[in-house]
């Protein structure tokens, strides 16, 4: 069984926010991928960004710079 | 291949799919139309008829299933403290999209959920609908990737989010305490229904489980193509498999493209109708079932979408847009049903409206108007 790994999950108010984050991270060469937003976070069926936890500070800065609004950053085991 | 605790990952969604499938089979056995244990589009159409919003005499009945789905979602959300009033995400656009999602679904004679139930009954005419639904979803994903957004919703008072659940309670009161105010079909699909208590309980169960699992027909396909995630799709497949097995056991599985209950073999328009419904569902962020669930959770934008779908159903029947089922004439000739010119024009208009809404909500376009 694959062990769950700690991940930083960024939730968004819109799908567009998640898609924009993917584009931003790909342009910056930052690791991560789109995932369905975990049920433990919300009952909404949106899309979230999953990244290594050590990218938190860098990612927060990049998102703020790009004007991408988030609905919260969560440290989860996925 | 990644190995995970798949029960935790897939348990709720598979349970929901099985329960939806079983409930559909029970409702059909108890009196609902064949291959229509659940149909969000048809049932909202029937509710519109019961309220006198259209005068198609064969499709008028205040379906308790819809009431149950909304209230089941409300109860599940309340228990888990997930009921939140939210609104403000382009409600007028959502209303309009809801109108055309309903028109598309009634052209096909079923919502995405009924599409799966029809497939589970062996109805091969639903294959065109499935392909169209998939095509519409792919179009929606194309625009999602280009930044389409109806904008975020904002917290509002719980009272605002309680309006649609409250309306559902009022409708239930009317059905039980003041039925003389409503219209009831005496023939046709509207006259075929299970006892109201069975319908309500089935709706409550489906609503509660769908709220917990986030079951969504459109979301299932969206997640496969956008995220390569199969969780929501597994719910879709669980319904299909459950209904298929159930129909085989009950002897009501008929693999054919002819003479299927409340279905037509105008395949092109089944494809286009469901393409319209699929594209619209992606723009809305969920299929018609999912809109009911979100509305039950307090989402005012989804409540507006549900109202749009009910209005769309009324418009469909007042203007003769909806599909007609295939039939057999007195001389034995097989008569293909489907839609007339008005329905075709409505589908074309629907695509134009969805395209206009889409283009107006791409990045950088919001200041153009």
State whether residue A73 is helix, strand or coil.
Answer: strand
pLDDT score for A1: 52
| Cα distance between residue A41 and residue B170, in whole Å | 32
For CA atoms B217, B218, B220, B225, give the dihedral sign: positive
Q: How many independent structural domains does chain B possess?
A: 1
pLDDT score for B4: 56
Given a cut of 70, the residues of chain B with pLDDT beneath it are 1-4, 365-369
pLDDT digit string (tens) for B79-124?
A: 999 999 999 999 999 999 999 999 999 999 999 999 999 999 999 9
- Across the interface, of A36, A43, A69, the residue whose CB is closest to B231 is A36
Tokens of B212: 């917990």
Domain ranges in chain A are 6-77
Which residues from chain B sit within 8 angstroms of residue A2, using beta carbons?
Answer: 2-4
Tell me the sheet residues that pair with A76: A7
Residue B365 in any domain: the answer is no
Q: Nearest CA to CA, how far is B191 from chain A (Å)?
A: 36
Q: Is A77 on the interface with B (CB under 8 A)?
A: no
Residue B369 in any domain: the answer is no
pLDDT score for B276: 98
DSSP B204-246: HHHHHHHHHHT--HHHHHHHHHHH---HHHHHHHHHHHHHHHH
* B contact test, residue of A2, A41, A45 with most B CBs within 10 A: A45
pLDDT digit string (tens) for B261-303?
A: 999 999 999 999 999 999 999 999 999 999 999 999 999 999 9
Q: Is A3 on the interface with B (CB under 8 A)?
A: no
Tell me how far apart the terminal alpha carbons of chain B are, to the nearest angstrom. Answer: 49
* Predicted confidence (pLDDT) at residue A35 exceeds the cutoff of 60: yes
Q: List phi, psi (to 5°) of B334.
A: -80, 125
Q: Nearest CA to CA, how far is B275 from chain A (Å)?
A: 21
The CATH number assigned to the domain with range A6-77 reads 3.30.70
Helix H or strand E encompassing B335: strand B334-335
pLDDT score for B367: 42
Which residues from chain B sit within 8 angstroms of residue A67, using beta carbons?
Answer: none
Q: Nearest CA to CA, how far is B239 from chain A (Å)?
A: 19
* Predicted confidence (pLDDT) at residue A51 exceeds the cutoff of 80: yes
Residue B366 in any domain: the answer is no
Interface residues from chain B to A (CB-CB < 8 Å): 2-5, 12, 77, 80, 82, 144-145, 147-153, 211, 214, 216, 219, 223, 226-227, 229, 231-232, 285-286, 290, 297, 363
The residue segments making up the domain with residue B166 are: 7-360
């Amino acid at each position: 069984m694959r062990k769950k790994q700690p991940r930083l999950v960024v939730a968004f108010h819109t799908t567009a926010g998640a898609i924009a984050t993917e584009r931003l991270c790909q342009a910056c060469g930052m690791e991560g991928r789109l995932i369905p937003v975990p049920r433990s976070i919300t009952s909404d069926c949106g899309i979230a960004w999953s990244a290594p936890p050590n990218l938190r500070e860098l990612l927060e800065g990049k998102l703020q710079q790009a004007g991408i609004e988030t609905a919260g950053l969560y440290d989860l085991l996925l | 291949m990644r190995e995970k605790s798949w029960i935790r990952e897939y348990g709720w969604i598979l349970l929901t799919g099985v329960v939806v499938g079983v409930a559909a089979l029970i409702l059909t056995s108890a009196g609902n139309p064949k291959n229509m244990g659940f149909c969000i589009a048809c049932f909202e159409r029937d509710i519109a008829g019961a309220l006198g919003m259209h005068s198609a005499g064969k499709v008028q009945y205040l379906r308790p299933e819809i009431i149950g789905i909304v209230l089941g979602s409300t109860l599940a959300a309340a228990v888990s403290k997930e009921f939140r009033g939210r609104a403000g995400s382009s409600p007028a656009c959502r209303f309009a999209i809801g109108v055309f999602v309903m028109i598309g679904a009634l052209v096909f004679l079923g919502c995405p959920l009924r599409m799966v139930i029809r497939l589970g009954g062996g109805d091969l005419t639903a294959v065109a609908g499935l392909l169209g639904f998939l095509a519409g979803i792919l179009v929606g994903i194309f625009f999602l990737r280009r930044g389409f957004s109806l904008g975020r919703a904002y917290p509002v008072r719980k009272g605002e989010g309680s309006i649609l659940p409250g309306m559902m309670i009022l409708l239930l009161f009317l059905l039980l305490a003041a039925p003389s105010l409503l219209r009831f079909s005496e023939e046709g699909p509207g006259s075929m229904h299970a006892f109201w208590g069975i319908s309500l309980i089935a709706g409550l169960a489906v609503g509660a489980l769908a709220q917990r699992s986030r079951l969504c027909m459109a979301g299932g396909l969206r997640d496969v193509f956008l995220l390569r995630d199969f969780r929501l799709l597994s719910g879709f497949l669980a319904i299909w498999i459950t209904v298929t097995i159930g129909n085989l056991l009950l002897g009501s599985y008929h693999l054919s493209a002819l003479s299927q209950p409340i279905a037509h073999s105008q395949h092109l328009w089944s494809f286009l109708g469901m393409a319209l419904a699929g594209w619209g569902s992606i723009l809305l962020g969920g299929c018609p079932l999912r809109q009911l669930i979100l509305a039950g959770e307090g989402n005012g934008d989804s409540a507006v979408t549900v109202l749009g779908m009910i209005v769309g159903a009324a418009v469909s029947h007042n203007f003769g847009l909806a599909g007609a089922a295939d039939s057999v004439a007195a001389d034995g000739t097989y008569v293909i049903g489907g839609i007339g010119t008005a329905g075709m024009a409505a589908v074309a208009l629907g695509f134009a409206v969805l395209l206009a809404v889409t283009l107006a909500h791409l990045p950088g376009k919001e200041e153009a108007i």
